[in-house]
Structure 1
Amino acid sequence: MPTQTAEIHAENIASSTNLVPLGWREWVALPELDILRIKAKVDTGARTSCLHTFRMEPYTDEAGNPRVKFWVHPIQHDLHQVVECDAAVIDERMVSDSGGHREQRLVIQTTLLVGESHWPIEMTLTNRDSMRFRMLIGRTAMAGNSVVLPESSYLAGEPVLRTIK
């Protein structure tokens, strides 16, 4: 739980700027992927955001565009809840993880919903089974949209899906 001082600081930031105050972890949604709630680590050390996928099937659509079908367990330690997703592939990038291991990853673009705010982000897809969070929000996704208060958690509250429409 955020301290009362952090909550006041977050309210001041939100009212004086267009920036969304974020704690070090937040509940977010990816509505275009039908992921209505997923816990994300706010990671200023990561350039690009990433999403856990336990299975991926890249393919080419009828128009010759690269796409990927992928499956997500949005809740850590819950292998019964599965969301099947489909998205256009916008790039393939070599990414280094926190352990220094390099991996070629598919990149998609989707809308990130944080509280009542939303904006487009790029995100890589990888298996994060051994990680504590199913999603990372990297600094590129945060730039110009948010400010991080690392002493706090869940400042944005639950994602508000009605704000996307």
Structure 2
Amino acid sequence: MRFALMITALMSAFFITGTHAASPSDTSAKDPEVLGFVEWVVMDDTEVRLKARLDTGAKTSSLHAVNVEPFEQDGEEWVRFKLPLGDHEDQPSEGQLDHEDVILEFERPVHRTVLIKRKGAPSQRRYVVHMEFCISGNLHETQFSLTDRGRFSYPVLLGRRFMRDDNILTDSAQSFMAAKECEYRTLEELAERPEALKR
């Protein structure tokens, strides 16, 4: 019995000293932010507002993209893709334009490619890019795989890599829990951006 107590005490001492447990005085430890399973995100460069689902079942985040085309720039692989705002119509509008009239075009260096195996369909290769975005008033950057999400309710999916790296927890029973808003542009303001392709 005495031996078992000694082993327990030694193991407790090891885990306390060997794993850098956060203490109340440890200012580097940051409390996780809890967000709903659906939140608004604003892509940083264009300030387009999109509805995002926080999904612990996905590792990598994904962004709605069509007409994805690779090209070479300065000896590096880049990708060009379009984001049609009419596919989800989340952008606030002053009523002067239809969402179908505005398509945003992006160009990004390719971070990596992934091969997605699909049941009953050929495997699909997707490009992954780094992009900055704002959620709950804070700027973040993560990897996004580019895929056509037009048939889904949410043009953005935020996966575990983002939640792990940025200390985010999600409450699956709640939505739009963000304490702060991010600045965004109206549909009409986006139409004046150099990235916009008007029909």
TM-score in terms of structure 2 length: 0.64
Q: 1:126 to 1:149 in 2, by over 3 A?
A: same
Matched residue of 1:131: which SS? coil
2:127 maps to which residue?
A: 106
| 2:41 counterpart of 1:19 | no
1:56 maps to which residue?
A: 68
Amino acid at match of 2:57: G
TM-score in terms of structure 1 length: 0.77
Displacement of 1:80: 2.6
Instruction: Give the aligned length.
Output: 143
1:43 maps to which residue?
A: 55
Sequence identity percentage: 25
Matched residue of 1:82: which SS? strand
- Structure 2 spans left out of the alignment, 5+ residues: 1-28, 90-98, 185-199
Displacement of 1:118: 1.8
Task: Check the 8 A contact 2:35/2:175 in 1, yes or no.
Answer: yes
Amino acid at match of 1:21: V
Which of the pair has more CA radius of gyration?
Answer: 2
1:68 maps to which residue?
A: 79
Q: 1:153 to 1:104 in 2, by over 3 A?
A: same
Aligned residues: CA RMSD: 2.2
Q: 1:70 to 1:141 in 2, by over 3 A?
A: same
Matched residue of 2:68: which SS? strand
| 2:43 counterpart of 1:30 | yes
Task: Check the 8 A contact 2:68/2:79 in 1, yes or no.
Answer: yes
Q: Which moved more, 1:88-97 or 1:37-46?
A: 88-97
- Structure 1 spans left out of the alignment, 5+ residues: 1-15
Matched residue of 1:153: which SS? coil
Displacement of 1:40: 0.7
Task: Check the 8 A contact 1:48/1:124 in 2, yes or no.
Answer: yes
**Mapped partners of 1:96, 1:45: distance in 2:** 16
Task: Check the 8 A contact 1:53/1:72 in 2, yes or no.
Answer: yes
**Mapped partners of 1:18, 1:96: distance in 2:** 37
**Mapped partners of 1:108, 1:115: distance in 2:** 22
1:125 maps to which residue?
A: 146
2:161 maps to which residue?
A: 140
Amino acid at match of 1:30: M
**Mapped partners of 1:158, 1:87: distance in 2:** 26
Q: 1:18 to 1:125 in 2, by over 3 A?
A: same
Matched residue of 2:174: which SS? coil
| 2:173 counterpart of 1:151 | yes
Amino acid at match of 1:19: P
**Mapped partners of 1:152, 1:71: distance in 2:** 31
Give the structure, 1 or 2, with the largest relative contact order (CA under 8 Å, sep 6 or more): 1
Task: Check the 8 A contact 2:115/2:124 in 1, yes or no.
Answer: yes
After the TM superposition, list the runs of 4 or more consecutive aligned residues in structure 1 that deviate by more than 6 angstroms. none
Task: Check the 8 A contact 2:47/2:183 in 1, yes or no.
Answer: no
